[in-house]
């Protein structure tokens, strides 16, 4: 059985001979920088993927969108009050921001061939907005809370425009780029004005639009509930999202793979390891990492499980540590 069929078996909740493993990290020094202002990032990202693929021979690939974190919608980026959001319009289906990402994915999938499944990283409209305001005096989450208080309908309008553009991106990286699916990154907004009711009313529907676009293109959708840098999320906010595979920060949320599998209705899950420099995956020795791998599989079972981490692992992680996870999954 080739890697594609083997990983697809895990994603069909079958019990494989060896549980697959998937890890990823950023290939540029600052992944949030605008790639159009720093065109060298495209080549750095491209070369990083190829080097990792050749050295590690991963079970599947998550294609990183370094340099494309910031959705380049000027009206949305410059909005200071909710009324400004009514001016937001689409960047268009052939904007260079979309074209370059399709080029990245198409180039890499041609190199990888059909030996492995590949998933392209796409951020939710709200997360993309927060990236675009990271240097602002008002953090993105506070701005989102302000916009909801001032004119919720205006914010929904702007987020739906962004979601429509991201849906085009998702469809094109699948149909033209050759990706097998998307890795959709979303997270809760830490503002007291954004509770579960607001989450379900404002953010969940636009997230669903992007995921549904990928689904309609015949793709596999991984939902990443992002806990990067300790960001906490209420996992129940995401149980109805139309994604077939779930990844969350099990170390941050305190929800194991087995518990998460039950929470998400038996869907296949990815993760288990903390992704920080303090975690076993980064600092542990061979025996410690293999013991943790066996513990994780003992808790979760082997069907419908892919071993991985809470989020991107440190850039300088020793690839032998990732290999020890794979070896332990074989040894049982």
178-206: per-residue pLDDT in tens?
999 999 999 999 999 999 999 999 999 99
Of all residues in the chain, the percent with pLDDT exceeding 90 is: 93
Asked if residues 247 and 270 have their Cβ atoms less than 8 Å apart, the reply is yes
Give strand pairing partners of 172.
none
Cβ-Cβ contacts under 8 Å for 167 (sequence gap 6 or more): 209, 210, 212, 213, 214
Per-residue pLDDT for 139 more than 90? no
Per-residue pLDDT for 1 more than 80? no
Query: How distant, in Å, are the alpha carbons of 3, 102, 168, 247, 248 from that of 227?
Result: 28, 27, 26, 10, 7
Q: How high is the pLDDT of residue 302?
A: 94
- Tell me the domains of the chain and their CATH numbers: 3-331 (3.20.20.210)
Per-residue pLDDT for 331 more than 90? no
Q: How high is the pLDDT of residue 16?
A: 82
Q: How high is the pLDDT of residue 332?
A: 67
- Across 219-258, b (16+ Cβ under 10 Å) vs e yields bbbbbbbbbeeeeebebebbeebebbbbbbbbbbbebbbb
249-287: per-residue pLDDT in tens?
999 999 999 999 999 999 999 999 999 999 999 999 999
Say how far apart CA 205 and CA 101 lie, in whole Å: 24
Q: How confident is the model at residue 18 (pLDDT cuts 50, 70, 90)?
A: confident
Mean of pLDDT over the chain:
96
| Joined tokens for residue 282 | 């980064």
Indicate whether this model's pTM tops 0.95. Answer: yes
92-113: per-residue pLDDT in tens?
999 999 999 999 999 999 999 9
Cβ-Cβ contacts under 8 Å for 283 (sequence gap 6 or more): 277
Query: Span 43-68, mean pLDDT?
Result: 97
Q: How high is the pLDDT of residue 76?
A: 96
């Amino acid at each position: 059985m080739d890697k594609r069929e083997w990983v697809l078996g895990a994603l069909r909740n079958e019990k494989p001979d060896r549980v697959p493993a998937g890890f990823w990290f950023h290939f540029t020094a600052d992944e949030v920088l605008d790639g159009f202002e720093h065109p060298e990032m495209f080549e750095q990202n491209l070369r990083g993927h190829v080097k990792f693929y050749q050295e590690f021979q991963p079970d599947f690939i998550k294609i990183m969108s370094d340099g494309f974190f910031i959705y380049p919608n000027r009206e949305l980026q410059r909005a200071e009050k909710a009324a400004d959001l009514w001016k937001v319009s689409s960047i268009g289906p052939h904007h260079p921001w979309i074209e370059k990402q399709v080029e990245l994915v198409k180039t890499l999938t041609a190199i990888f061939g059909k030996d492995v499944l590949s998933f392209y990283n796409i951020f939710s409209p709200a997360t993309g907005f927060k990236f675009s305001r990271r240097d602002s005096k008002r953090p993105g989450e506070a701005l989102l809370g302000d916009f909801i208080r001032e004119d919720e309908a205006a914010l929904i309008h702007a987020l739906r425009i962004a979601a429509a553009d991201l849906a085009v991106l998702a469809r094109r990286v699948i149909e033209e780029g050759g990706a097998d699916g998307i890795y959709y990154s979303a997270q809760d907004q830490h503002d007291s004005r954004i509770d579960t009711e607001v989450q379900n009313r404002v953010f969940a529907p636009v997230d669903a639009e992007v995921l549904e676009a990928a689904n309609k293109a015949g793709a596999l959708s991984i939902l990443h509930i992002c806990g990067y840098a300790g960001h906490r999320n209420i996992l129940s906010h995401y149980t109805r999202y139309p994604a077939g595979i779930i990844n969350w920060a099990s170390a941050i949320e305190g929800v194991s793979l087995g518990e998460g599998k039950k929470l998400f209705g038996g869907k296949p899950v990815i993760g288990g390891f903390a992704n920080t420099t303090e975690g076993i995956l980064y600092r542990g020795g061979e025996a410690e990492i293999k013991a943790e791998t066996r513990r994780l599989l003992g808790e979760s079972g082997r069907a419908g499980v892919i071993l991985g981490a809470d989020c991107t692992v440190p850039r300088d992680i020793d690839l032998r540590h990732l290999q020890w996870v794979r070896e332990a999954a074989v040894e049982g």
